[in-house]
Amino acid sequence: MNDITAAFGMAFAMLLDLDRDLIEIVGLSLRVSFLAVGLAVLLGLPLGAAVALYRFPGRTVLHALLTAFMGLPPVVVGLVVYLLLSRAGPLGVLGLLFTPAAMILAQCLLVLPIVAALSAQIVADLNREYDEQLRSLAAGPGQRLVTLLWDGRFSLLTAILAGFGRAIAEVGAVMIVGGNIAHSTRVMTTAIALETSKGNLALALGLGLVLIVLALTVNLAVLALRDAVRPSHG
């Protein structure tokens, strides 16, 4: 129990204190996860919408794969990305292993199925709702996709936030491809794992609480932004 109460004190002190190391680690966590989610959104929204709207060979299999891969084990993704980026691997010449870019790639692979599968569901529902209207406007397939993504943007935010939650919280993938290098690739989750292994349990839990506050802040900010721009229904 002592460690738990001490952790709250430490988390509070860390947030007040904002020492340089903590800011660096928090900053890298946010940068890596934002960029990973950004890339996953770029690829995942059109992919999900395409799966929802178009008929093409292998569509059902692709849909099933996306849904199943929402639960990809991070450590497996980390291992695959390591084998790709290792100097002995096919992409070794890029020299990306143990850099934030490798961590972004790994997290992007984790987030992509979540964004794509959830947006497929959202777009499919909207498509049923607006089908007649779109038909009467004689919208082409491309136009239909863009229109439905735009109309569903507020619901799609939830899918994006789910992806962000996955990215910011995972440790298995970034540990392997980032290497948890101090002042280089150490993020919140790998720092928590390191402090736990040093036996600094209160500090580790304190960092965990800071991470939760961080995730909460991002979610609140996104939801506040949504409410600010969403046309009121009154």
Partner 1 sequence: MVTRRIFLAGFILAAMTFPGLAAERSIVVASTTSTENSGLFGAILPIFEAASGIRVKIVAVGTGQAIKLARNGDADVLLVHHRPSEEAFVGQGFGVKRFSIMYNDFVLVGPENDPAGVRGLTDAATALARIAAAKAIFASRGDDSGTHKKELELWRAAKVHAQAASGQWYRETGAGMGATLNTASALGAYVLADRGTWIAFANKGDLGIMVEGDARLFNPYGAILVNPARHRHIKAAEGQAFIDWLISPAGQQAIADYKRGGRQLFFPNAD
177: closest CA among 3, 34, 32, 20?
A: 32
Q: Where are the beta strands (DSSP E) in the chain?
A: none
Q: Is 34 exposed, middle or buried (0-12, 13-18, 19+ CB in 10 A)?
A: middle
The site string for partner 1 over 68-107 (x = CB under 8 A, - otherwise) reads: ------------------xxxx--x-xxxxxxxx--x---
**Residue written as tokens 């995730």?**
215
174 contributes a contact to partner 1 by CB under 8 A: no
Task: Identify the residue among 38, 46, 69, 219 touching partner 1 (CB under 8 A).
Answer: 38
155 contributes a contact to partner 1 by CB under 8 A: no
Q: Residue 230 in contact with residue 154, Cβ under 8 Å? A: yes
Q: CA 106 → CA 87, 158, 193, distances in Å?
A: 17, 21, 18
Distance of closest approach, residue 61 Cβ to partner 1, in angstroms: 29
158 contributes a contact to partner 1 by CB under 8 A: no
Name the segment binding partner 1 (CB under 8 A); options: 123-131, 158-166, 191-199, 222-230: 191-199
Rule CB under 8 A: which residues touch partner 1?
A: 31, 35, 38-39, 42, 86-89, 92, 94-101, 104, 179-182, 184-185, 194, 196-201
